[in-house]
Structure 1
């Protein structure tokens, strides 16, 4: 089937307008060719238009790149996935002494380390920022023992970035260029603001469509979320994961399931090495999304079909926009039906909600769950460096089953899934936004 890229440019613009997205860049590889289209503006204040060569922040999609760097080193015999982190970084410490010796690289790359890992800490702009970040991890607590569950962990990937520095003898940014960008010819993939600003760069936007108060996160967050790139470069990276020898001798290893997700309703059912894993209409889908300050990115790849899609946006109702876009695109390209997002059941489910009430807390977030007329209300409260950058949210929850609830904040069109886990012989958890947040009272 021949792709009508003018049609997709029109649909991109229409969907962006519907979801109040200031600017978007779409690239996809189908039937051996890469197609690109754009819509809107990079910055609502300057009105600079989005171009195909404009750079957007891809946020946590960066984590797949960092995981790939570790896998390249593993293929060359420099390290093994089950090597304890402390063997490579003797200075590595977290608050729990047992966890310090038990945590492996595999734990870091699969979010199973148990580290309470949303420590967004500015350790300076110098080349020693990752070293200083690892030194600051000594007080990080465990949400669960290493390997016991899954909880999305930014700190784990920053620590992995420091492992890359130790094994390559280069700062992470340069190692990324040497290991991935230059071999794949990615000339518009950068990490440092002074490089990004040589090109047209997107600015994030808040809910009112005005530019965000800050452009980017501290350099120390690099391996967890600081890559800026064009959609076409992100597609080229995704394509390398479907092509043995393009980067890795056997990239399929990274999409082998490593852990089942306790909340399988928010983007994937399992996690591989760096990748979120799911199945749509009988086809495996590997993906990763990323959010920074007012920007959102997502990378999907369908190994059996050879199709790779990258969507980069700078504000608006991102979840709604990305779902509508990928649903239309995959229906057109492959007659593939993307599963509908989770939503409340047609008939109310009666659940005793009192056992779930309380305060749940982890680094960067405090979550209050209260009962009102037999229903739950969830209120998030950003803490630490996220105060002023992430907004509080209030979700009125509706039960889907005895432990699964859905809710959405005012103005949201998509439902968020919340899964409660009450362990009879241990702590209770709230699984939301990819994190396992323990109940503290």
Structure 2
């Protein structure tokens, strides 16, 4: 696989990548490319990459450890654990539960990236800022990816353990599993060979990582072998007595074509060739990671990349590797249909908006165009994009960024009360204005 990994990073213009997998009782590790195109330092199997939102499964596991200790349940209201907790909607403040946070069903606007400093109180201060967060959707009505919810979950960990999230992570997970190459803070990461992200065009990112306040949602840096060890712990019961509780479906994902069909507790759930697959992906500033676990076969795969067409790259790795190891057919990416689909463009046009993003759908003579603009703290790092939307059926569309081999999927749908939404990038975005 080492030679093939080198071929794939060249094909998908990825500067560097590392791969580890556990199969039939053996760990296999591979690396290719460079950590940083400016320095030319080569990737090795013990290099640390930012695993981004894969971190969320670790935070969910921390809370499940506390649940097994009787400190909380999935249905405990957040306000019982954090009496100072507040969001804009007072009913949500009273009713939102730990389960809502860990299954992305709280409806709380999820992309508040707020720098509250480098101090040990950064997550506590982030919680205070949540008081102004409005609802993306009514509590429990649908699934929408919520970084904010996992930072709130991290604050629950802090409150119940009496430690900052980073230290609680170490005592609950890292030390018990003997993970020597998993860290959260840059001053620790730089003691190792560490990857730098790369933006479109191949230049290194102007900022290395996210602010510390986002820790519980996405700040873990790790070598793939450590990520595999974490995945194995969920098969072997090393951290939890019953880790399979986290694999129980909590909500259907409105767009099942992107990452999976359902969300569990922390994990994304899917099925390949009749086998349950639990996974999670992560994207930070110019870096991307994936973790897959197949409970039936015991196979665990982790791969990280630092730029290029990294999503298409990791999908290609999974497609080839799982076919070879377990004979599984990975869900293919959705693509345009062979025959064009006729639609009424007026049904979809308008402005869809949530914290962190404004999406405008316009009609250009029967063909839809999607304009996506980042807003807030990350706006300076992401240029607005305009993409042509190609219908697959009357609610499902695909679009492709220039030069990207992969198609993105998007689903237009309504909540039970008839409110129109667009599901894109595992996020539900409400329609604010009609064309």
The reply to whether TM is greater than 0.5 is: yes
Q: 1:119 aligns with which of 102, 106, 112?
A: 112
Q: 2:425 aligns with which of 428, 433, 436?
A: 433
1:331-383 deviation line (CA, Å, top 9, x unaligned): 11122222221011111111112121001111111001001121211110011
In 2, Cα distance between the equivalents of 1:159 and 1:391? 29
Q: 1:205 aligns with which of 198, 209, 233?
A: 198
Q: 2:385 aligns with which of 381, 393, 411?
A: 393
Aligned to 1:4: none
1:12 aligns with 2:5: yes
Task: Answer whether contact 1:394 1:408 (CA < 8 A) is retained.
Answer: no
In 2, Cα distance between the equivalents of 1:267 and 1:160? 22
Q: 1:423 to 1:157 in 2, by over 3 A?
A: closer
Aligned to 2:263: 271
Q: Secondary structure at the match of 1:241?
A: helix
In 1, Cα distance between the equivalents of 2:78 and 2:57? 19
Alignment root-mean-square deviation, CA: 0.9
Q: Secondary structure at the match of 1:387?
A: helix
In 2, Cα distance between the equivalents of 1:108 and 1:265? 23
Pairing 1:72-87 to 2, within 5 Å after superposition: 72-87=65-80
1:34 aligns with 2:27: yes
1:403 aligns with 2:395: yes
Aligned to 1:352: 344
Out of 174-183 and 321-330, give the one that drifted further: 321-330
In 1, Cα distance between the equivalents of 2:311 and 2:332? 12
Q: 1:299 aligns with which of 291, 302, 309?
A: 291
- 1:423 Cα shift? 4.9
Aligned to 1:222: 215
Pairing 1:8-407 to 2, within 5 Å after superposition: 8-244=1-237, 246-407=238-399
Task: Answer whether contact 1:24 1:39 (CA < 8 A) is retained.
Answer: yes
In 1, Cα distance between the equivalents of 2:382 and 2:159? 33
Query: So what's the TM-score if we normalise by structure 1?
Result: 0.97
1:206-254 deviation line (CA, Å, top 9, x unaligned): 111111000000000000000000000000000111112x110010000
Query: So what's the TM-score if we normalise by structure 2?
Result: 0.98
In 2, Cα distance between the equivalents of 1:146 and 1:127? 30
Q: 1:373 to 1:314 in 2, by over 3 A?
A: same
- 1:390 Cα shift? 2.5
Task: Answer whether contact 2:282 2:288 (CA < 8 A) is retained.
Answer: yes
Task: Answer whether contact 2:141 2:415 (CA < 8 A) is retained.
Answer: no
- 1:325 Cα shift? 1.0
1:46-71 deviation line (CA, Å, top 9, x unaligned): 00111111100000000000000000
- 1:393 Cα shift? 2.1
Task: Answer whether contact 2:369 2:387 (CA < 8 A) is retained.
Answer: yes
In 1, Cα distance between the equivalents of 2:384 and 2:416? 31
Task: Answer whether contact 2:372 2:385 (CA < 8 A) is retained.
Answer: yes
Structure 2 unaligned runs (5+)? none
Q: Secondary structure at the match of 2:381?
A: coil
Task: Answer whether contact 2:81 2:156 (CA < 8 A) is retained.
Answer: yes
In 2, Cα distance between the equivalents of 1:395 and 1:268? 23
Out of 405-414 and 119-128, give the one that drifted further: 405-414
